[in-house]
Amino acid sequence: MAHDTTDDGMQASRRTFLKATGVATAAAATGAGVGTAAAQPDVDSLVGDLTLEQKAAQMTQVAISSFEAEPEESNVPDSFGVDTVGEYFSELGVGSILSGGAEPPSFDGETVVQGINALQEYNLENADHDIPFLYGVDATHGNGLLAGATVFPQRLNMGATRDLSLIEAAERHTSDATASMGAHWTFAPTTDLQRDPRWGRFFEGISEDPKLEADVSRVRARALEDDDRLTACVKHFAAYSIPNNGNDRAPASTSLRDLRTNILPPYREALKSEPGTVMVNSGSINGVPAHASHWLLTTLLRDTYGYEGMVISDWDDLNRMITNHDYAPDFETATEMAINAGVDMYMIGNGGDAPGPVQFIDTVVSLVEDGAIPMERIDEAVRRILELKADLGLFEQPTVDESRIETVLGGAQETAETMAKESMVLLKNTDDTLPLSGDESVLLTGPGVDSNGNNTRALMQHGGWTLGWQGASAGGPFPRQNLLEAELRARVGSLTHVPTSYENTTWWAGEGDGGNQQSDENGNFDFTAEQRSRVESAGPESDVVVVVLGEGTHNEGFGDRDELVLDESQQALLDTVVESTDDSAPIIGVMLAGSPRGSPETFSQLDALLFAGQPGSDGGVAIAETLVGEYNPSGKLPFSWPENVGTTPVQYTRYDPTSTGGTDNTAIYEYGHGLSYTDFEYGSVSVTQPTVGNPANQSEVTVSVEVTNTGRMAGEHIVEVFNTQSYGSVLQPRRRLLGYERVSLGPGELTTVDVTVDLTALEVVPGDVLGLGPKVVEAGEYELTVGQDGPTATLTVQNTASITDPDPVPGLPDGSGSTPGRGNNGNNGNGNNTSRDPTMEDVVDLLDEVRGRS
Ligand code: BGC
Ligand code: BGC
């Protein structure tokens, strides 16, 4: 990966200069904008010039639903204390705005860029300071906020490719496309380990393997900052993805051992790219809301990881300490806890009962005046915010060139198409059903069309965060896209299309009727009598049937599900297909879903099954080319496919045993599963340095393995090296990924593939149940296995040593122990935590204080 080094270097120097001088760098301004250029400010003196109110306002981010500063009809929430979007600047002087949910006030690129420029000019003319605002959006898989944009495959598909340089190329385009629309900030990458398919955000995870999640997160965080005008956001720090019951923002409990071995490394690795911002986990962990955790946000993130960027809350999460977690009795307490814990900016959503910007600013001011939040803590937060703005070049050039968006939007087609193809995972292919010859008459069926005749399958192809929070609307607008029906029709003898019903259930549907909960299927699916008779008449005429299966678009808590079954109408459709086709006509499933769906019984009715995930803009071409063999599938599952929800989570890195009873809880398709139209065979394997003296001095070895394409078709293959057997002082995972490499081989071709094996992936936290000690690679023998059950080799580690984490967990007595949120009370009073554990007295004080306020 040639650009790794170069980029690391560039990135580092940009930020390092910033740190060294305390003054923003003139990161070579990008192109000409339309605003007035000002000189870079001296951040320290700027902080000194601001009043306390102005500082609190810089710490405020507010969601906007209009780009008009003074629209005729205001859409600012009543409770927010101002009348127009313009007054956020003229009256309050807020530091940042956002369009959450991938939903800007307009989906038209030009309208957005003009609106943002106009608003920035309004801000600079009318605010009582000369500080540009930061505009943040969720560009999570491409700039999925604009009609005609290229959306890349969802994160789950990215993980299936194992292709770091391709993912990096994609995120460079996202960076460009997002900066061109006038945004300065994308709330990406999501680096939460993907573990529980009941969770409505499973599709946002790269992998259940910590190394893969970490590698991809690192390159994404870096590439998203490729445009100097865009900053990334590593989120959601930390442990957002492991709520015990699988529901979004529900409590998570885990051990320090699991945290330090599996959950934290992806965030930490992503932080190596020095992203400008970090977003906090909206949930609670081991009994503490992350937003109140001084340990997470300061002791770990700042003091241990050395992170110097800015920390933003998630959506309304200070308020959620009251409404969700029932932890803080009132907004004052929540605000005090969050800011003292380390939150620098508060993301304020769309109103309702939640406190708005005026209340937040007033609350911060009075907490500082009362001495509950040290002034130094406020100055630190504001300095970070202003440094970020300066680093992005906003003072020098507050607005952007309005013509650029048009040239960028919809670009990177080749990257998106390659990524979609590389992410196709062929789960099953009995008797070489696939590829099709291309001469067949095909019946294509499965969801979706809605009752208005809209093509709702397009929504299944893109998933959430695509021109809308829960995904695009059925009637559009849509990103640039090609769709399966047309692409397949162009590649086969003839095609009959019988789309079945899929109504996109919006999250607000059902209000007053059990709440805003989506169905477990994430959509309303149906198979009408009319559709049935069309399938029954087309079935006998067809050489082959392609049945689309899957789930509807969803996001966050509205995507949570208690079951992973396919909707029963999809099962009814499949039964009808089986009944109405000749035994010689194969049935092929194509699954469009952001999670593992369906049961072994259903899969047994299929001759072949292609898991397409949510492949984005170029999903149509990718699926069609794969079905006819113009592309030879090479993707591998980045997660384990559970048989049913009762066995989740069933990540392959789990400890043994899964069960000692009669239940077989193994996955139906393991992490790493994925078939090809050709065969790859492994020959001999060797480790270039089979004995490592001290892993602290040597953290990598190379495994070389011969791979031959023994089939008749060219193809790509991902060689993965796992540790499969080892003994240590604590349980070892069943398997864990140490390295991987994607290779391309012609028919009959043999090559030797060198896979870099990363010994940090072997680190464990030794010691008894607490898991507090340094993380180490323990001395011993490690069995290395190539692929699922390929050849093995032995790696011997002679000395136990730490590579990443040589110190005991921070926060122990004489570390920097703290009481959550209020941990600063009774310490040195400047927001820096002192080095001691809370005493019984501290705890009593804390309880009194919390109760006293309720
Ligand atoms: C999500 C974040 C997102 C934010 C803004 C929150 O609900 O948890 O991931 O960045 O909204 O849309
Ligand atoms: C916003 C999303 C946000 C969600 C949080 C929605 O109204 O559009 O950005 O993620 O609320 O609950």
Q: Whose CA is nearest to atom 6 of ligand 1?
A: 315
Ligand 1, from 134, 315, 346: best to mutate by most atoms within 8 Å of Cβ?
A: 315
Question: How remote is the CA of residue 358 from the centroid of ligand 1, in Å?
Answer: 21
Best probe residue, ligand 2, of 98, 315, 508 (max atoms within 8 Å of C-beta): 315
Q: Which domains does the chain have, with CATH numbers?
A: 7-408 (3.20.20.300), 424-647 (3.40.50.1700), 680-797 (2.60.40.10)
Compute, in angstroms, the gap from residue 96 CA to the centroid of ligand 1: 15
Kindly give the distance from the C-alpha atom of residue 850 to the centroid of ligand 1, in angstroms, as a whole number.
29
pLDDT band at 828 (very low <50, low <70, confident <90, very high): very low
Terminal-residue alpha carbon distance, the chain: 56
Which listed ligand is nearest to 470 at the C-alpha? 2
Which atom of ligand 1 is found nearest the CA of 469?
Answer: 12
Q: CB of 533 within 8 A of CB of 575?
A: no
Return the C-alpha torsion angle 487, 488, 490, 492, nearest 10.
170
Looking at the CA of 204, name the nearest ligand.
1
**What is the structure's pLDDT at 31?**
37
Please check whether residue 340 is in contact with residue 378, taking contact to mean a CB–CB distance below 8 angstroms.
Answer: no
* pLDDT confidence of residue 846: 55
List of residues 6+ apart from 646 with CB closer than 8 A: none
Ligand 2 centroid to residue 90 C-alpha, Å: 26
Q: For residue 710, give the DSSP letter.
A: -
Q: Cα of 319 to ligand 2 centre, how many Å?
A: 14
For 710-736, the pLDDT digits (tens) are 999 999 999 999 999 999 999 999 999
pLDDT of residue 508: 62
Question: What Å distances lie between residue 50 and 6, 41, 194, 358, 412, CA to CA?
Answer: 38, 13, 42, 17, 43
What separation in Å is there between the alpha carbon of 851 and the centre of ligand 1? 31
Taking the C-alpha atoms of residue 42 and residue 22, their distance in angstroms, rounded to an integer, is 8
Q: Chain-centre distance of CA 173, in angstroms? A: 17
Which ligand is the nearest neighbour of the Cα of 104? 2
Pocket lining for ligand 1, CB < 6 angstroms: 100-101, 138, 187, 235, 282, 314-315, 556
Token duo for residue 100: 């959450």
With beta carbons less than 8 A apart as the criterion, state whether 191 and 217 touch: yes
> What's the rounded Cα separation, in Å, for the pair 799 and 793?
19
Nearest protein CA to atom 7 of ligand 1, as residue: 315
Which atom number of ligand 2 is nearest to the Cα of residue 100?
A: 9
For the whole model, what pTM was predicted?
0.93
pLDDT of residue 666: 86
pLDDT in tens, 344-375: 999 999 888 899 999 999 999 999 999 999 99
| 137 alpha carbon, closest ligand | 1
Which is it for the CA torsion 208, 625, 555, 216, positive or negative? positive
Ligand 1 pocket: which of 62, 134, 187, 281 to mutate (most atoms <8 Å of CB)? 187
Concatenated DSSP letters of 53-102 = HHHHHHTEEEE-S-S-SS-SS--S-GGGS-SSHHHIIIII--SEEEE-TT
Residue 73's pLDDT is 86
Where does ligand 2 bind, in terms of residues with CB under 6 Å?
Answer: 100-101, 103, 315, 349-350, 469, 556
**468 Cα: distance to centroid of ligand 1 (angstroms):** 12
Pocket test residue of 312, 469, 507 for ligand 2, highest count of atoms within 8 A of CB:
469
Distance (Å, whole) CA 589 – CA 190: 30
* C-alpha 276 to ligand 2 mean position (Å): 22
Cα–ligand 2 centroid distance for 494 (angstroms):
44
**pLDDT tier at 5, thresholds 50, 70, 90:** very low
Nearest atom (ligand 2) to Cα of 350 = 7
Q: How far is the CA of 349 from the centre of ligand 1 (A)?
A: 10
Tell the burial category of 848 from Cβ atoms under 10 Å away from its Cβ (0-12, 13-18, 19+): exposed
Residue-averaged pLDDT of the chain: 91
Q: Which of 170-174, 420-424, 513-517, 518-522 has the lowest mean pLDDT?
A: 513-517
Q: 659 or 176, which is more confident?
A: 176
Name the residue at shortest CA distance from atom 10 of ligand 1.
187
pLDDT tens-digit readout, 569-580: 999 999 999 999
Backbone dihedral angles phi then psi of residue 756, each to the nearest 5 degrees: -80, 125
> What residue owns the CA closest to ligand 2's atom 2?
101
Q: What is the DSSP string of 598-660?
A: --HHHHTT-SEEEEEE--GGGHHHHHHHHHHTSS------SS-B-SSGGG----TTPPSPS-S
Tens of pLDDT, residues 668-701: 999 999 999 999 999 999 999 999 999 999 999 9
d(CA 282, ligand 1 centre) in Å? 9
- Of 97, 138, 555, best ligand 1 pocket probe by most atoms within 8 Å of the beta carbon: 138
Q: How much distance in Å is there from the Cα of 470 to the middle of ligand 1?
A: 12
pLDDT band at 62 (very low <50, low <70, confident <90, very high): very high
Q: Whose CA is nearest to atom 2 of ligand 1?
A: 314
Q: Coil, strand or helix: which one is 252?
A: strand
The phi, psi pair for 276, rounded to 5°, reads -65, -30
Question: Mind listing the pLDDT tens digit for each residue in 23-49?
Answer: 333 333 333 344 455 778 899 999 999
Q: Which ligand 2 atom sits closest to the C-alpha of 557?
A: 12
* pLDDT per residue as tens digits for the range 503-512: 987 666 554 4
Could you tell me which of 739, 747, 752, 743 has the C-alpha nearest to residue 682? 752
Ligand at shortest distance from the CA of 313: 1
Give the Å distance between the CA of 109 and the centre of ligand 1.
21
344 Cα: distance to centroid of ligand 1 (angstroms): 16
Ligand 1 atom nearest to 102, measured from its CA: 12
- Nearest atom within ligand 1 for CA of residue 98: 5
Q: Return the residue whose CA atom lies nearest to atom 5 of ligand 1.
A: 100
Instruction: Of 35-39, 246-250, 839-843, give the range with the top mean pLDDT.
Output: 246-250
The ligand minimizing its distance to the Cα of 192 is 1
pLDDT tops 60 at residue 311: yes
**For residue 271, is pLDDT > 80?**
yes
Q: List the one residue out of 349, 317, 248 whose CA is nearest residue 559.
A: 248
Smallest-distance ligand from the CA of 105: 2
Selected residue with higher pLDDT from 216 and 846:
216
Taking the centre of ligand 1 as the mean of its atom positions, its distance from the CA of residue 506, in whole angstroms, is 17
**Confidence class of residue 502 from pLDDT cuts 50, 70 and 90?**
very high
**For 766-790, what is the mean pLDDT?**
95
Q: How far apart are CA 628 and CA 273, in angstroms?
A: 40
Three-state DSSP string of 509-542: CCCCCCCCCCCCCCCEEECCHHHHHHHHHHHHHC
Centre of ligand 1 to C-alpha 490, Å, is 39
Q: Which protein residue's CA is at the shortest distance from atom 8 of ligand 2?
A: 101
The confidence band for 842, taking pLDDT boundaries of 50, 70 and 90, is low
- Chain mean position to CA 209: 14
Residue 594 CA, ligand 2 centroid: distance in Å: 19
Indicate which residue's Cα is closest to atom 11 of ligand 1.
Answer: 315
3-state secondary structure 569-598: HHHHHHHHHHHHCCCCCCEEEEEECCCCCC
pLDDT at 839: 59
Residue 11 corresponds to which amino acid?
Answer: Q
CA-CA-CA-CA torsion sign (512, 516, 517, 522): positive
For the CA of 187, the nearest atom of ligand 1:
10
Q: How far is the CA of 638 from the centre of ligand 2 (A)?
A: 27
Helix (H) or strand (E) holding 116, with range, is helix 109-126
Distance CA 58, CA 40 (A): 18
- Whole-number percent of the chain with pLDDT over 70: 89
Range 306-326 average pLDDT = 98
